[in-house]
Structure 1
Amino acid sequence: MSKMTIDIVSDVMCPWCIIGYKNLEAALEKLPNIETELQWQPFELNPNMPPEGQQLLEHVMEKYGSTPEQSQQSRQMLKQRGKECGFEFNTTDDSRIINSFDCHRLLAWAKEQGQQTELKLALFKAHFTDGKKLNDDEQLLDVAASIGLDRDRAAEILKGDEYKELVKQEESAMHQLGINSVPTFIINQKYAISGGQPVDVFYQSLQQIANEAEQA
């Protein structure tokens, strides 16, 4: 049995992050000889986004120069990729992109509770499938409570400054490693797989890393 640590650098606003995770998950199911310890590392795609967020169509036009037609084509492609890996995308032109810093703060807390992955997946679903506004504290608290996290404690965190410095430090550490795009999967603090790769890419890469570790 090979043991492997996987740090996933991601933002809940990134559709490729959930596609990449689902494909990683599928690859690991085909590799029962690998035991993994997984954790999520914070990355903000839009750290300067104002609290109210921005309409998706406006955002992609402004940030990437996409036309409305290109934006729609991109969403259709993501919807298909999501269907292939078992995740439902329901985004529209009016979906909102937000600053995800508070999501990362709750994820840091959820890690201490042993529920980080559960919360991360619930946040992906809330944003991309259910159209929840994660910059609304009540809706964000609903997501946390839905997986059994203490709603009152989560509200206390959002109202205060807890985990702010920790998240900033972790983000800084990722930038210092040269990571400037997500998702990035760091294996055993040594290897990196970038992007929402297909299942076979994850499978082959993880198998090779495991073989190298056994031969070392």
Structure 2
Amino acid sequence: MSKKKIRLDLVSDVVCPWCIIGYKRLERALELVADDIEVELHWHPFELNPKMPLGGENLRDHLAAKYGTTKEGSFNARAELTQIGANLGFRFDYFDEMKMFNTFKAHQLLHYARQFGKETELKMRLFSAFFGERKVIDEDAVLVTEAVAVGLDQAEAQAVLADERFAEAVRAEELEWVDMGIRSVPTFVFNRAQAVSGAHEPEKLAEFMRIV
């Protein structure tokens, strides 16, 4: 019997902790349905903080201003995320001076990586760079280093960031998903018909894939 084929569009940002948790849970969900379902994954950009200036802002200060998060709430959230990540094989390394960054440049580089089938690899590198390696991911040099790490050309990656050749395409793609009603990430869209927001457990994601 042939496998059921599903198109899965995943809208996310690389500074969103629940996005990497959602993806790691998706990996486990895919193992649960591997015998019956074949999934074609497509990543899409979303900016949590499109107006964030280069250089970023202290993460605790940012969350306090944006969501009213207290220091105690921040501490508890970081501990929870760190434990969830560890259970999924992903390392969160939160620290007091950690900043939130603008990700528009990162999304442009991811768009470039898509042409070479390297988008998922680069996405994983950027998640790890930001959450686990204390890297400043709005800096060109850092982004280019991560691009090279997944096998992309250094000079071409530098040129992509310098001339912003994909800036318009990224903006258009972001707007497309916002226009479809997506306001939070991660959002999983199955067969362009059913959208599910949040980092659901593997079993729940597997259930969505079985019934879509």
| 1:213 equivalent in structure 2 | none
Cα pair 1:75 1:91 within 8 Å, conserved: yes
Find the residue that maps to 2:142 and give its secondary structure.
helix
Residue 67 (1) aligns with residue 70 (2): yes
Cα pair 1:56 1:92 within 8 Å, conserved: no
Deviations 1:62-112 (A, max 9, x none): 111111111111100100111121111001221111110000001111111
Task: Please point out which of 85, 99, 106 is paired with 1:103.
Answer: 106
Residue 170 (1) aligns with residue 170 (2): no
Measure how far apart 1:134 and its partner are: 0.5
Measure how far apart 1:130 and its partner are: 0.7
| 1:141 equivalent in structure 2 | 144
Per the normalisation by structure 1, the TM-score is 0.95
Q: Please, which runs of 5 or more residues in structure 1 have no aligned partner?
A: 210-216
| 2:4 equivalent in structure 1 | 2
User: What one-letter code is carried by the residue in structure 2 that aligns with 1:166?
Assistant: A
Distance 1:66 1:93 in 2: 15
Distance 2:18 2:141 in 1: 26
Distance 1:28 1:122 in 2: 21
Which moves more between the two structures, 172-181 or 77-86? 77-86
Measure how far apart 1:161 and its partner are: 2.1
- Share of identical aligned residues, percent? 43
Residue 41 (1) aligns with residue 40 (2): no
| 1:205 equivalent in structure 2 | 208
User: What one-letter code is carried by the residue in structure 1 that aligns with 2:68?
Assistant: G
Which moves more between the two structures, 172-181 or 79-88? 79-88
Pairwise CA RMSD: 0.8
Find the residue that maps to 1:12 and give its secondary structure.
coil
Measure how far apart 1:36 and its partner are: 1.3
Cα pair 1:7 1:40 within 8 Å, conserved: yes
User: What one-letter code is carried by the residue in structure 1 that aligns with 2:201?
Assistant: P
Deviations 1:112-145 (A, max 9, x none): 1111111111110111011111011111111111
User: What one-letter code is carried by the residue in structure 2 that aligns with 1:184?
Assistant: T
Cα pair 1:39 1:117 within 8 Å, conserved: no
Cα pair 1:39 1:116 within 8 Å, conserved: no
Distance 1:204 1:85 in 2: 19
Number of equivalenced pairs: 209
User: What one-letter code is carried by the residue in structure 1 that aligns with 2:70?
Assistant: T
Residue 31 (1) aligns with residue 33 (2): yes
Residue 52 (1) aligns with residue 55 (2): yes
User: What one-letter code is carried by the residue in structure 2 that aligns with 1:15?
Assistant: P
Per the normalisation by structure 2, the TM-score is 0.96
Distance 1:37 1:102 in 2: 25
